[in-house]
Structure 1
Amino acid sequence: MKKVLFLMLVITSSFQILAQNDTKNLNVDKTKIAVEGYDVVAYFKDNTAVKGNKNFVVVDNGITYYFSSQNHKDIFTKNSTLYKPQYGGWCAYAIGKTGEKIEIDPKTFKIIDNKLYLFYNKFLTNTLKLWNKEETTLLINADKNWKTITKK
């Protein structure tokens, strides 16, 4: 019986460590809310940034996502990976330019090949505009940099 309890404890601890590692590179607040509470499905379906509602919540791998409607919540639940932002929700421009994890403005986004990219837009710096000037290069660099970041 002690061996079974010990084994269960080891397995549980392993899953907790894996869950922590899965979230360490995600841009979430201290309560693990993604995209500052914005509805990730709305970016795709409505082509706009819409604040989610606490009545429509999904917790996916320990991360909380808010939605503006039951329909968007249901869409996300069917295939969450399609709607999650690239690069853990960090600024795509910064990941591509320097490999740094920089905060985003959830209202500043772009959909490229059915993928959501978020950008920093504060203090007179809109990185989406900078991204658009050299998107091809930055996208390649961001993908490479993100692989390096997630290996750490």
Structure 2
Amino acid sequence: MRISTLTACLICLALPGTAAAGGSVNTGPFGGVAIKGYDTVAYFTEHKAMKGSSEFAYEWLGTPWHFANSRHRDLFAADPVRYAPQYGGYCTLGVGIDGHASANIDPERSWRIIDGKLYFVYDPTYAEELDGPARDDWLAKADAHWPDLQEKLEKNLLN
């Protein structure tokens, strides 16, 4: 394990996890909106992070999602699973290490689209882990941990 990977994991583990109203969607420590109010469709259509607006909100999984425009909102409403971030928008590395729900992500700079799926991590430096040779291992570990973590989040069993 590289030093940066170890550091990323320790940071993800040290940060508090937060459950949303629906349980398994990251609304961050403040605000109550999915992925800190960023437009999840924009990552796919505009290839960049864009802040959404409550004017173009859509509720899914008991959580409001904000979009930059009505077109993005309608695309999401038609197929939310296609556009929703993996692991509820929690830090992929935190989920991969031990199933930790780190809500403190940076949706502006710390995201990747891999095989048509959106992933977030805590910091841009650590997003590079998803570009490296260990990517498949990270994603396999996160996939393995996510069902148990999701269940805990939905039952509000995490602090």
**Does the pair score TM above 0.5?**
yes
Displacement of 1:77 after TM fit?
Answer: 1.2
Identical residues among aligned pairs (%): 32
Q: RMSD of aligned C-alpha atoms?
A: 2.0
- Number of the residue aligned with 1:4: none
Q: What is the TM-score with the length of structure 2 in the denominator? A: 0.74
Match of 1:74 in 2: 74
Higher-strand-fraction structure: 1
Residue 126 of structure 2 is aligned to residue 127 of structure 1: yes
**TM-score normalised to structure 1 length:** 0.77
What are the Cα deviations for residues 12-33 of structure 1, in whole angstroms up to 9, with x where unaligned? xxxxxxxx99822321145530
Q: Normalized per residue, which structure has more helix?
A: 1
Give the conservation status (yes or no) of the 8 Å contact 1:95–1:101: yes
Which consecutive unaligned segments of at least 5 residues does structure 2 have? 1-18, 153-159
- With over 3 angstroms needed to count, the CA separation of the structure-2 counterparts of 1:150 and 1:22, relative to structure 1, is farther
CA distance in 1, matches of 2:149, 2:32: 19
Deviations along 1:91-125, whole A, 9 cap, x unmatched?
1122112321112101211111211101111xxx7
Q: Residue 104 of structure 1 corresponds to which residue in structure 2?
A: 105
Q: Relative contact order, CA 8 A, sep 6+: which one is greater?
A: 2
Distance 1:70 1:25 in 2: 25
The code of the aligned residue for 1:45 comes to T
Q: Which runs of 5+ in 1 are unaligned?
A: 1-19
Distance in 2 (CA, whole Å) between partners of 1:128 and 1:63 is 25
In 2, the alpha carbon distance for the partners of 1:31 and 1:106 equals: 14
Q: Which has the larger radius of gyration?
A: 1
1:117 counterpart residue number? 119
SS in 2 for 1:50: coil
1:139 is displaced (CA, Å) by 0.6
Matched, 1:36 2:59: no
> What's the counterpart of residue 3 of structure 1?
none
List aligned pairs for 1:3-82, cutoff 5 A: 23-29=22-28, 31-82=31-82
Native 8 Å contact 1:58 1:77 kept in 2 = yes
Q: Greater CA deviation, 20-29 or 80-89?
A: 20-29
